[in-house]
Amino acid sequence: MDNQSVPVGRIDPSVWSDSSARAVLQLMVDSVAQMTGFSTAALSVILDDLLVTVAYTGPDEFRDLVFEHADPVSALDLVLERGDDWGRFRFVPADRYDDAADLDGYWFVLPDEGDPTLEDGWDPHDILVALLRDDEGALVGALSLDGPLSGRRPDVALRDLLERYAAQTERAVLTAFEREELVQQVAHAEAARRMIRAASIPVHASLDAVLISTHQPLIEGFGAVGTWIEILEPDGGTRGYARTKAGDLVVLPEWLHEVASELAPRLWREQRVAVLDADGVAGAEGHDIAGRHLEAGRQLLAELGVALVIGIPLGAGEECLGFLVLPRQDSRPHWSPVETASALEIGHDLGAALMTVRALESERALVRELKRLEDYRSQLIATLSHELRTPLAVILGNLELLGELDLDDGAARHHRAMSRGAGRMNKVVDDLLLLAQVGDPRHPLVRIPVDLGRTAADVLGLIGSTAEAKGVRIRRQGGEAVPAALVVDGDPVELDRMLSNLVSNAVKYTPAGGVVTIDLQRDGEAVVVRVVDDGLGISEEDQAGLFRAFFRTTNPAALREQGTGLGLAIVATVVERHAGTVRVTSTLGSGTTFTVRLPAAGAPGLPETR
């Protein structure tokens, strides 16, 4: 990793799309260096057979060099062959290799001459690297340390501490990979849902319209050079629609339709995809139809200049509705596990679209599809919250270790920073779990009488200190004289969170000197809650997506405030579950009013508990 290593272009730490995962890794590297007494630490992960640095702490003059260059994985051969085995770590003393011949430009040496008078003194050419592996033992990354502040090589006690931190770093790297896979799968699933919506919005949409509308997103999303969708008819017949990248129809050999009609139902039952390349068929082992036509398939691939194809069963529920085939040329031959997993999800989503088109006039089919999409949303949110728990556990593990030590001022500052980060992550996880709970139609709403006046008082008591520290005044209006008029039937925890989110949002986006007003009134058979502020306001464009999960405003002033984009989604879902309504009126720069109407306790027509 010195200035002689081969540049591969700017390889930024943003190699992961998930910034929170990168932040966890950087926090881990900072912690390892500080708590083990090393001036320099660098964390690299293996991407496309390269060691790419994603986190670094140390001298600033090396920062650009570390992030701008990547080394081949073979740079670790010296460590593996000549290093002492210290658990996850390998230690290569400077006298065990020749600097010029063995390093081959893959490592840099800090400008530190060391202290030869020290017993077990650290030599600037010593190498200390932890090899990070996945659960199957495959190498996924490396953690390098240099420049011990003590000037000595690690003793037995320090090695034990290093091993503990290496284990935590290894788990953090694996979690980062898992999170990135989830992000990519979510992106593909979102694209699939957009395809389905675009295909089924017109009530007169035909099957041809659905297939045409899905062609280009599949080409762009998977780097394919064409698409082939074989529709399995209820009467046992098939219809094939093959198109080039440009959208031109292609006539396929008859035997391919036979392959699709026999292979697709089997793959759907097993929830698998099949990949055909020059070596054979992966995922269709034991299927006679694949074996009978294997040679013809290889010949067809050669004629078309295609490296391999992936076959994806399309279906809904237990019914297989068709077969999707995506070919790929030699320039991009590999189907990653993330892509194959996402392809199977596409099979679910596109199959549902075909079902919708086939039974467009069937209300029962439409309701079933909407329920499936709602279940998918709840499962996605639950999965995301679960994935957040692992990096949170890493941070909390560091906090526990730090809390056992006598910290100097610098370490205490880092400890406080990690504590704040853990608190924010806890808030995100809590919001995700609550959103998954209130958005799950299988989660019943148990109604009890709830005094919104008392709930509002509790909320103001908790948020009041925050508002006061910011210089924002909170004002309460209405409802004090007749508190019984403000009682609704519902879940007290959900209603408390709904009010908390509205008031805390108002305080957050109101500058110092501003006023936030919460007004509760009885209006006929409804209890009306208004939260009014004179803060930043919301543009008309942003109001359209305000209650969507993970929505973030386009207003730069508002973006400076930390947030998850979940608070108002929780508000909208809770209000809907309580048979109420929520609306927003706002003008950019002039403040915002949120109005919630909920059925009062005992109001006629109140829905049954669900």
- Where exactly are the structural domains of the chain? 13-171, 206-359, 375-438, 448-599
Q: Which residue from 535, 573, 525 is spatially nearest to 555, judged by alpha carbons?
A: 535
CATH number at 13-171: 3.30.450.40
Residue 6 has pLDDT above 50, yes or no: no
61 versus 374: the higher-pLDDT residue is 61
Instruction: Tokens 């720069």: give the residue.
Output: 589
pLDDT digits (tens, 9 = 90+) for 172-219: 888 887 777 666 655 655 665 565 555 544 445 567 777 887 888 888
Across 4-18, 164-178, 384-398, least confident range: 4-18
CB 384 within 8 A of CB 439: no
Q: Phi and psi for 25 in degrees, rounded to 5?
A: -65, -40
Of the chain, the end-to-end C-alpha distance in Å amounts to 61
Query: Distances in Å between the alpha carbon of 426 and those of 396, 464, 497?
Result: 11, 21, 15
CB 290 within 8 A of CB 260: no
Containing H/E element for 554? none
pLDDT digits (tens, 9 = 90+) for 22-51: 788 888 899 999 999 999 999 999 887 888
CATH number at 448-599: 3.30.565.10
Same fold, 13-171 and 206-359: yes
The residues, any chain, with a CB within 8 Å of residue 406's CB and separated by 6 or more, are none
Instruction: Tokens 């230690």: give the residue.
Output: 91
- Cα separation, 421 vs 497, whole angstroms: 22
Question: Average pLDDT of 291-296?
Answer: 64
Residue 432's identity, in one-letter code, is: L
Residue 5 has pLDDT above 60, yes or no: no
235-263 burial: b if 16+ Cβ within 10 Å, else e: eeeeebbbbeeeeeeeebeeebbebbbbb
- Confidence band (pLDDT; 50, 70, 90) for 472? very high
The pLDDT value recorded for residue 10 is 35
Question: Average pLDDT of 130-134?
Answer: 92
3-state secondary structure 323-381: EEEEEECCCCCCCCHHHHHHHHHHHHHHHHHHHHHHCCCCHHHHHHHHHHHHHHHHHHH
CATH number at 206-359: 3.30.450.40
Q: Helix H segments across 6-124?
A: 19-36, 63-68, 77-82, 99-103
Q: What is the overall mean pLDDT for the chain? A: 79
Structure tokens at 388: 């957040």
444 versus 281: the higher-pLDDT residue is 444
Residue 464 has pLDDT above 70, yes or no: yes
Residue 226 has pLDDT above 60, yes or no: yes
- For residue 204, the SS3 value is coil
Residue 269's identity, in one-letter code, is: R
- Cα separation, 563 vs 551, whole angstroms: 10
CB 370 within 8 A of CB 217: no
pLDDT digits (tens, 9 = 90+) for 552-596: 777 776 666 766 678 888 899 899 989 999 999 998 888 899 999
CB 535 within 8 A of CB 513: no
- For residue 583, the SS3 value is strand
The pLDDT value recorded for residue 364 is 46
Q: How many residues are given for the chain?
A: 610
- Cα separation, 191 vs 350, whole angstroms: 11
- For residue 283, the SS3 value is coil
The pLDDT value recorded for residue 285 is 52
CB 528 within 8 A of CB 520: yes
- Cα separation, 14 vs 239, whole angstroms: 44
Across 39-53, 101-115, 537-551, least confident range: 101-115
pLDDT digits (tens, 9 = 90+) for 380-416: 766 777 677 677 777 777 777 776 777 777 777 777 7
Which of 99-113, 340-354, 361-375 tops mean pLDDT? 340-354
Q: What percent of the chain stands above pLDDT 70?
A: 76
Question: Average pLDDT of 422-441?
Answer: 73
Across 21-25, 59-63, 156-160, 498-502, least confident range: 21-25
Cα angle value 332/52/79 (rounded, 5°): 115
Q: Residue 84's beta-bridge partner residues?
A: 91
295 versus 137: the higher-pLDDT residue is 137
- Confidence band (pLDDT; 50, 70, 90) for 602? confident
Residue 608 has pLDDT above 80, yes or no: no
The pLDDT value recorded for residue 233 is 83
Which of 62-71, 192-201, 474-483 tops mean pLDDT? 62-71
Q: Which residue from 311, 174, 320 is spatially nearest to 238, judged by alpha carbons?
A: 320
User: What is the pTM assigned to this prediction?
Assistant: 0.40
**What is the DSSP track for 35-61?**
HHTEEEEEEEEEETTEEEEEEEES-GG
CB 596 within 8 A of CB 528: yes
Instruction: Tokens 């320039």: give the residue.
Output: 331
